[in-house]
A and B are shown apart, each in its own frame.
Chain A
Amino acid sequence: MFKQYIKNIWASLKQDSVVTIINILGTALAIFLIMVVVLMQEVKVLPFSPESNRDLFLICNALTETSIGKENTSMTSGRMSEATAKELFSSLKNVKDVTLFSGGGGLSKLVSANKSIPMQAESAYTDDAFWRVFDFKFLSGKPFDNATFKAGQKVVVISESVARHLFHDVNVAGREIEMDFVPYRICGVVRDVSLIASQAYAQLWIPYTTSDIVKLTSGLDNVKLGGTFSAVILANSKSDFPKIKAQVNARVAAINSRIKADKVKLELKGRPMTQFESSITTWSNELPEPGKFYRKAAIILLILLLVPAINLSSMTQSRLRRYITEIGIRRAFGCPRSRLLSDIINENLVLSVIAGIVGLLFCVIFAYFASDMLFTSDWSGFFGHPTVSLSLLLNPKIFLFAFIFCFILNLMSTIIPALHASHTNIVNALNGRTR
């Protein structure tokens, strides 16, 4: 039957070239836009270096303190202090590793080498587990280990572009640079990290034991649980997530019983979160609400599908009119309605998929070259330009999405004309009337 579809489509192209081409363009356009929208969300969730383990991450980058039992309830939320982060996330069972770090932008440093022109670079303060949780690509040297971290040695891992700016070379492990006028030794150089890797992103990575940043705390009254730290847990498998969360919740309860006397309550608001939940949550005191996200996404996708579906429907209707005689003939010789229906829908599906591939191709090319325009999130303009690799864009998940939308669009735009055509009175159909 497939050969038959191709034959019909080819005949369509030759006979009704304009309408068929418009059909293809309309479908390609719809798939293009839908996939752009899908990509903009997927990029926040798909794994890639150095966040290749995104599927196994549990992320906590905020806590909330609320005062209880007072007339004026006050609330504060933000990152965690080192002490609190340790209390909540160190030595958890059923985890592969846990990293505590202070980063995510906003900590820029003045970096210079050999009295060269200084540059401003984003820095992150991390522990040694950071390098096990995230998979950075080292171009020179290696990450700092536990001993170095504990000793608070002044070492730094720098990104490729920082190395090139200061030394015009990437093999600079062992050399010295000055950061905010303090000398550090470069222990490793890594490939540049895209802004889209929101947890791991920085241009300099320093052991947090070298800085006072650890001592910064904030919070309500004298309960200073807040600070500048985030935590990322690397689980062994997704099935461990509930167990890990249960342990964390138990520790939160323990802290709460301790601070109860100060009339302050600690809440993590659904954290630690999965990568997906993290991608749909903006504010630190916000609970992840997948339901709301899916509803909003459904509405947007529905509109993106409905408008072209109506378009294509009218064109399909017109196309089917041409074939009404043929439809009559087939029915006269015993083609059941259901078979006719599925034939029409399937044939159109082949056309849709061809058009969908065209649309997807344009989408990928557009996303690659216009990544600035598409993936600059609301705040990231402060830190630079997002980059996106082709391998990320050509992910099988993306292809699957594109195919599913082709299928849905096809169904939406063909079902009514097909039903109409298959229920036309045979005699009328044979005579070219569509009633």
Chain B
Amino acid sequence: MSMIKLEGISKVYRTKEVETLALENVNIEVEKGEFLSVMGPSGCGKSTLLNIIGLLDTPTSGSVIIDGTTIEQMPDKVVAAFRNKMIGFIFQSFHLIQSLNVIDNVEVPLLYRSISAKERHQKAKEVLEKVGLSHRMHHMPSELSGGQCQRVAIARAIIGTPEIILADEPTGNLDSKMGAEIMEILHHLNKDENRTIVMVTHNEEQAKQTSRTIRFFDGRQVE
């Protein structure tokens, strides 16, 4: 059974005058432990695809099946639980909460599980060590470099031990050295912890190092 399955997914954006077809009849299967790259030119729907897999957006038609469960017409509480337990998101622009420090940012996913503050804090410390940022625990995001910010974002994405990690151009805003560091962490998560990763990227080199690459053009999968 595949970890992620998309069946006949279409996404249409409607405004008063314009209808934009972001995705058209997409069918994808991702096995557990796969590291999938998604490539394609700008505006062809890659991010939309990731958002739908990550349950951040609903498709206009088609079904999303995560780990055997079809996510359709479910109450918000259930979907939120899925997001919390199964999925970890890494955004291109980091999206850290500016008013919170590093460790508080990392703890965010655990706020929606019933564990004590002490346990939360402990887990956050552990995961920050993993990404090599335990010495910056109490810094504010504005005091960190781009690479450090993304590492915090990764820590946040994995603290809840989700099965799936979704990364939307994770190295897009970083220089090559930092980008390499980030990729190393992602590969480690994939190989040593068997996490399923779907990554959107522009970088051919990075895509080559992943287990599979799919390409998109104008909302349709090609190749």
Interface of A with B (CB < 8 Å)?
7-8, 11, 15, 325-326, 328-339, 425-427, 430
Contact = CB atoms under 8 A, between A and B. Distances in A.
Contact of B85 (A329, A331, A334): A334
Given A329-B95, A427-B56, A427-B57, A335 B51 contact: no
B56 A336 contact: no
A329 B96 CA distance: 8
Contacts of A326: 97, 99
Contact of A339 (B51, B56, B112, B156): B112
The 9 closest A-B pairs by CB, nearest first: A334-B84, A336-B80, A426-B56, A11-B99, A334-B83, A333-B109, A337-B76, A336-B77, A334-B112
Q: Determine the main DSSP class of A at the interface with B.
A: helix
Contacts, number: 66
Contact of A426 (B57, B108, B109, B112): B57
Interface of B: 51, 54, 56-57, 76-77, 80-85, 88-89, 91, 95-97, 99-100, 108-109, 111-112, 156, 160
12 contacts: A11-B99, A329-B108, A331-B80, A333-B108, A333-B112, A334-B82, A334-B160, A335-B84, A336-B112, A337-B80, A426-B56, A427-B56
B203 to A, nearest CB: 23
A330 B108 contact: yes
A430 B91 contact: yes
A243 B220 CA distance: 85
Nearest to B117: A3
Contact of B80 (A329, A334, A425, A427): A334
Contacts of A331: 56, 80, 83
Nearest to B75: A336
Contact of A427 (B51, B99, B109): B51
A333 B156 contact: yes
B57 A335 contact: no
B99 A8 contact: yes
Given A335-B80, A335-B111, A425 B57 contact: yes
Contact of B83 (A15, A333, A427): A333
A332 B81 contact: no
Given A8-B99, A333-B83, A335-B80, 18 more contacts: A326-B97, A328-B95, A329-B97, A331-B80, A332-B54, A332-B56, A332-B83, A333-B88, A333-B109, A333-B112, A334-B80, A334-B82, A334-B83, A337-B77, A338-B77, A339-B112, A425-B57, A426-B57
A334 B109 CA distance: 7
A325 B89 CA distance: 14
Contacts of A333: 83-84, 88-89, 108-109, 112, 156, 160
A336 to B, nearest CB: 4
Nearest to A334: B84
Nearest to B89: A332
A336 B76 contact: yes
Contacts of B96: 329
A158 to B, nearest CB: 66
A243 B82 CA distance: 63
B80 to A, nearest CB: 4
A321 to B, nearest CB: 15
Contacts of B88: 333
A11 to B, nearest CB: 4
A166 B197 CA distance: 96
Contacts of B112: 333-336, 339
Nearest to A12: B99
A330 B108 CA distance: 7
